[in-house]
Structure 1
Amino acid sequence: ATCRGRDCDHQRKQDLDRIEAALEIGYMVLHRAINASLLTRIQQGEQVLDSVECASCMFVQVYGLEAELLQQHPRKSVAILHELFSAFDEEVEALKSLQKVKSTGVLYIICGGLLRRDSSHFTTMIQLAITLRDMAEKVVARSTFAGPLQLSLGI
């Protein structure tokens, strides 16, 4: 069906509003993913080709939620992952030399040395690994989660 007159104008305005909202969300996501000075450079049209001499990366994989999922309790698994990853987020945000890159499913990724030239990022990463392990134990202890929860940490 084709629109006519005011209907077309109204539809176009709605479409433009949706596009603007999507762009705004995109900029918010970008701003959280990269530091402000880098985002400004990109928005000004600069082609950013920075090099990184030394960086570290940690992959955190959560194991032990499969039984809950198989027993038809996916909400419990999602709730514990949310609580766990939210606690991880707070911890990583407090550390200036590390940045969360992504969390997806049962995987959490952190990098250091990318946005700041800080030689302590590797030591900080190792300390963070120990902290995350301890945090996971506390989250499980507070929850109604029945099974053992394990973290696989790779740096």
Structure 2
Amino acid sequence: MNLSRLATHHECVTIMFTDIVGFTAFSKECTPSQVMSLLNELFSKLDALLDKHNVYKVETAGDCYIICGGLLDEDEDGFQTVSTASPSHAAKIKAARRALNFAVEMMR
């Protein structure tokens, strides 16, 4: 077993944590079924945006939805494919732009 490929190094990623304002108060006023229904509907809509913006969903924890931009731009060897004069700067911009575009569409 080749253990050298268990993880990859990413020079630059953008991580976005989202949280529903007032969720705790809302959840106290609703039944557990209503809370789960809301979260399922919301997270299903957000999940549908992942591929469009080429971002990776890290996880959901309660009402927190965590995504990462800059993880999915890899070639077969696991290294970022960047075709500009300044790879680290370009990677930072691409990762941040993906997360920002995802966030903007989330708000619609």
Length-normalised TM-score, structure 1? 0.51
* Larger RCO (CA under 8 A, 6+ residues apart): 2
Matched, 1:104 2:78: no
Aligned partner of 1:124: which letter? R
Q: Distance in 2 between matches of 1:72 and 1:81?
A: 12
TM-score by length of 2: 0.70
Query: In the alignment, is the contact (CA less than 8 A) between 2:53 and 2:102 conserved in 1?
Result: no
- Helix, strand or coil: the match of 2:3? coil
Task: Report percent identity of matched pairs.
Answer: 28
Query: Which 5+ residue runs of structure 1 have no aligned equivalent?
Result: 1-43, 135-155
Aligned length: 90
- C-alpha distance in 2 between matches for 1:67 and 1:46: 46
Give the 3 Å change call, closer, same or farther, for CA 53–72 of structure 1 in structure 2.
Answer: closer
- SS of match in other structure, 1:58: strand
Structure 1 residue 132: deviation in Å? 0.7
The structure where helix makes up a greater share of residues is: 1
Structure 1 runs (4+) greater than 3 angstroms displaced:
none
Kindly report the root-mean-square deviation, in angstroms, between the aligned alpha carbons of the 2 structures.
1.9
Task: Check the 8 A contact 2:69/2:99 in 1, yes or no.
Answer: yes
Contact 1:68–1:74 under 8 Å retained in 2: no
Q: SS in structure 1 opposite 2:72?
A: coil
Query: Paired residue for 2:102?
Result: 128
Could you tell me which amino acid in structure 2 is paired with residue 132 of structure 1?
M
Gaps of at least 5 residues in structure 2 are 74-79, 83-90
